[in-house]
Amino acid sequence: MQLTEIIRNVRLGIKDLMIHGLRSLLTMLGMVFGVGSVVAMLSVGEGAGKEALEQIQKLGSNNIIIDSVKPVEQASSSKGRFALDLYGLRYKDFERMVQAIADIKSAVPVKITREKAYYADNVLEVRVVGSTPDWFQLVDHNVLSGRVFQASDMSNRANVVVVTENVARKLLTFSGEQRSNIRIGSNFFEVVGIISSGDAKDGDGGVQTPDSPLDVYIPINVMRERFGDIAVRKVSGATIREKVELQQVIVQVNAKEQVESSALAIETMLANFHDKKDYTMRVPLALLRQAEATKRTFNIVLGSIAGISLLVGGIGIMNIMLATVTERTREIGIRRAIGARRGQIILQFLIETVLLSMFGGIIGIFLGLLIPFLITYFADLETIVTWYSIVFSFGISLTVGVIFGLYPAVRAANLNPIEALRHE
C-alpha cells in the first residue's frame, strides 16, 4: 500500500462522493450532529464544573474549616425571654486542637459578628471578623495598601482594623489613606490596611469562602474584650441571645496526605467534648474530590448520550455504503477483472467511508464550537471547549468511519467478479 495509491483513492473517493452530493451531505449529517454534540456537551460539562472547583480551590486544599452551628434540638428549646443559647466551638477546643493534632501547620480561631460601622456621615453594616495574624496567611487575599495586623497588635490589644476594598470604598469613600478612625459598634478603631475583597457571592448555592466582600478584621483578643461572646438577635418579635465563643476555626496541615487523618482526629476530639453536634466540618480537599467525581460522572453521562448519536451516525454511513456497494457492483466487477486485488477494493471503499465520516467530523467540530458560544451568549452558562474533546471526537469519527466502512468494503471485495460483471 503506497502513499500514491492512498492519494489516488482519496481523489477518487471525493469524486464519487461529489457525484451524489446531496446523498453524501445527508449521510454526513449524522456524523456532524454526533461530533457536534460531543464537543458541545463536554464543553457545557467542563464549564459547569469549573466554577465550583475554583471556589473549592480558594478554600485551600490543605485546609480544614470547622464552623459553629446551632444544634437542631436546642433551637426549639430556647423558651423564655432571657434564655441564653450556648453552643459552638470554645476557646478550649482551639487550644486542644493546636496541642493535640500533630500535623497542624497553623490554625486560626475566628470570631464573627455583625455590627454597624461609622465614618463621618457614612454608616455601613459590616461583618466583623476577629482572628489572629495567621488568618491572612490561610485565606487568599492581596494587601492593597498599608499592612495587616500583627502579633504586636495582639499583645498591645491595639484597636486596629483591616478593611476590605469594598468597605473602604463604601465607608471611607476613598481608598488612598488609611490613618482614619472608624467606629464599629461603640468602639473606635484605627484603619491600618486595606485588602482585596473576597468575591464570594453569599447565598448563590456555591461553596462559601471564609471571607466576604464587606469584612473588617480586628485582633481576636480585642474583639473578645470589646464585643464579648454574647450576640443578641431579634427574630420575628422574639429576642434570641446566643453565646458562641468561636464561630469558626481554620486549620491548615502540612501536606495534602494529612488532611483526611487530621480531620478525623479533630472530629473525634470535638465529639469527646461536645454533647451535641454544634459544629460542622468542611474539608475542601474532600469537596474537591467530590466535585471532580461529580464532574466526571456528568461528563460521562453527557458523553455517552452524544456517543450514541455518533453510533447512529456511523450506522447511517454504513447503510449508505452498503447501498453504494450494491449500486456499484458492476464497477467492482470491472475493477476486479482488470486486475485490482481484493485489498485494493477494500481500500477504495474504506477510504470513501472514512472521507465521509471525516468531513462530517470536521463540520461537526465547527458546530461543536458554535453551540457552546450560543449557549454562553443566550443562556449565560459558562462553557469551555477543551482541545481534548475536539481531538477525541475527531478520533472517534475516524474510528467510526473505519469500523462501519469495513463491512461494506469487505463485502464489495468479496463479490464474485463474474457475477458482479453480469449485475445490471
Name the residues that contact another protein, by CB under 8 A. Answer: 2, 4-5, 8, 15-16, 19, 330-331, 333-344, 417-418, 421
- Among 237, 212, 13, 21, smallest CA distance to 114 is for 212
Answer for the pair 120, 129: CB distance below 8 angstroms, yes or no. no
Between helices 21-59 and 3-19, what is the axis angle to 10°? 110
Of 8 and 147, nearer to another protein (C-beta) is 8
Of 70 and 330, nearer to another protein (C-beta) is 330
Of 9 and 252, nearer to another protein (C-beta) is 9
Answer for the pair 184, 119: CB distance below 8 angstroms, yes or no. no
Kindly tell me the sign of the dihedral angle through the C-alpha atoms of 131, 134, 138, 141.
positive
Tell me the CA distances in angstroms from 247 to 110, 210, 244, 377, one per residue in order: 6, 11, 7, 41
Least Å distance, CB 1 to another protein, is: 11
Query: How long a stretch of residues is the chain?
Result: 424
Q: Residue 240 and residue 231: Cα distance in Å, rounded?
A: 8
Of 20 and 224, nearer to another protein (C-beta) is 20
Q: Residue 41 and residue 46: Cα distance in Å, rounded?
A: 9
Least Å distance, CB 344 to another protein, is: 7
With 0-12 / 13-18 / 19 or more C-beta atoms within 10 angstroms meaning exposed / middle / buried, residue 29 is middle
Least Å distance, CB 343 to another protein, is: 8
Q: Cell numbers at residue 183, please?
A: 467606629
N-term to C-term CA, the chain: 31
Least Å distance, CB 347 to another protein, is: 11
Of 71 and 417, nearer to another protein (C-beta) is 417
Of 300 and 337, nearer to another protein (C-beta) is 337
Least Å distance, CB 323 to another protein, is: 16
DSSP β-bridge partners for residue 238: 235
Of 127 and 335, nearer to another protein (C-beta) is 335
Of 275 and 424, nearer to another protein (C-beta) is 424
Answer for the pair 352, 320: CB distance below 8 angstroms, yes or no. no
Q: Residue 259 and residue 265: Cα distance in Å, rounded?
A: 10
Answer for the pair 395, 34: CB distance below 8 angstroms, yes or no. no
Tell me the CA distances in angstroms from 394 to 37, 125, 398, one per residue in order: 12, 55, 6
Of 235 and 338, nearer to another protein (C-beta) is 338
Least Å distance, CB 409 to another protein, is: 16
Least Å distance, CB 339 to another protein, is: 2
Least Å distance, CB 19 to another protein, is: 6
Least Å distance, CB 318 to another protein, is: 22
Least Å distance, CB 328 to another protein, is: 9
With 0-12 / 13-18 / 19 or more C-beta atoms within 10 angstroms meaning exposed / middle / buried, residue 202 is exposed
Of 90 and 336, nearer to another protein (C-beta) is 336
